[in-house]
Amino acid sequence: MDTALSDLLVVSDVDGTLLKAGLPLPQKNIDAVAEFIARGGNFTICTGRGLHAAKKVVDSFGIRIPSIHCNGGIIYDFSAGRTLKETFVVPAARKATQAILDAFPSMGIELVVGNEIWTPKLNRAIQDHLDSFGLSYTMMPLRDASDGWNKVLFADEPEVVDSVIAYVQDNIRPDPEYAELDFVRTSPYYYELIPNGINKGAALLELADIMGIARENTVAVGDFYNDLPLLETAAISAVVSEAPEQLKSRADYVVAGCLDGGVAELLHILMDKYS
């Protein structure tokens, strides 16, 4: 049986792939997503963003199927207003977060808690993140933040993030107390604490199962190292031209840059092939 566009599930990373925060949305991507959906294709996002930060993207691109958030920790259907999957970091995340803050006092922190953002520590990198995404937030001392965090975002200058990664490798990961925690770098400026076992690739399979779409009909596009599990899981993978060489060597397609409509290029390849 021939594969039709309606058989495909295409998931796109957001920041650096589908758009760049704080800049106008690439019109090529808007138009191509609209055409792909109108012709029966299934398109959604798979992002590190929480629900609050992602809703504008979902609305702007007319996405009507469930989307993946917090690097795979949440699957949410905005059309139905329904959570299909939600994971939380274990209480030990509080101690790990405080240890990192004690070791790196300049570090900024966001806690993603459902549709809210709590900010225990502001710095320039966190303020830029909040401003560029247009996010509202609540200042919340770490000691006062109740449990139920979906993830923790650490942000600072890249060289500080490099040092934090080394600190986590030497002091957090070897400790059995933190065995249920994981960490992933999502940009030169951002480092995230997430539940162990959570990644974009596993979430893609969960979403495909929810939608009744075979793995061989999944397509993914990304731009950074946290997208690697997604690209390795999808049957067809693509990266935008700004992606690191390690990702380019593993992808089926290297498309145009983010702002030049790389996602649109991929969608046109699919529409030409499967129409």
45 vs 61: CA distance, rounded Å: 10
- The whole-number average pLDDT for the span 64-82 is 97
Angle at 43 between CA 116 and CA 73, to 5 degrees: 35
CB distance 262 to 254 below 8 Å: no
pLDDT of residue 1: 55
Proportion of the chain above pLDDT 70, given as a percent:
100
11 lies in the same domain as 57: yes
**Where a domain ends, among 143, 165, 195?**
195
Domain boundary among 169, 195, 221: 195
2 pLDDT above the threshold of 90: no
d(C-alpha 46, C-alpha 75), whole Å = 9
Q: What is the CATH number of the domain that holds 169?
A: 3.30.1240.10
Domain range holding 214?
A: 5-86+198-274
pLDDT at 275: 79
Tokens for 257, please give them.
């840059």
pLDDT digits (tens, 9 = 90+) for 136-164: 999 999 999 999 999 999 999 999 999 99
pLDDT at 70: 96
SS3 assignment, position 180: coil
Per-residue tokens: 60:
């702007």
Contact of 100 with 154, CB cutoff 8 Å:
yes
Assess whether 73 and 100 both reside in one domain: no
How many structural domains is the chain composed of? 2
Q: Are 238 and 13 in contact (CB under 8 A)?
A: no
- Together in a domain, 206 and 265: yes
Q: What is the DSSP letter of 212?
A: T
Quick one: tokens of 1? 């049986």
pLDDT band at 272 (very low <50, low <70, confident <90, very high): very high
The residue among 166, 195, 224 that closes a domain is 195
Mark whether 258 and 128 lie in a shared domain.
no
57 lies in the same domain as 21: yes
| Alpha carbon distance 176, 199 (integer Å) | 21
Q: Do 209 and 164 have their domain in common? A: no
Does 203 lie in the same domain as 182?
no
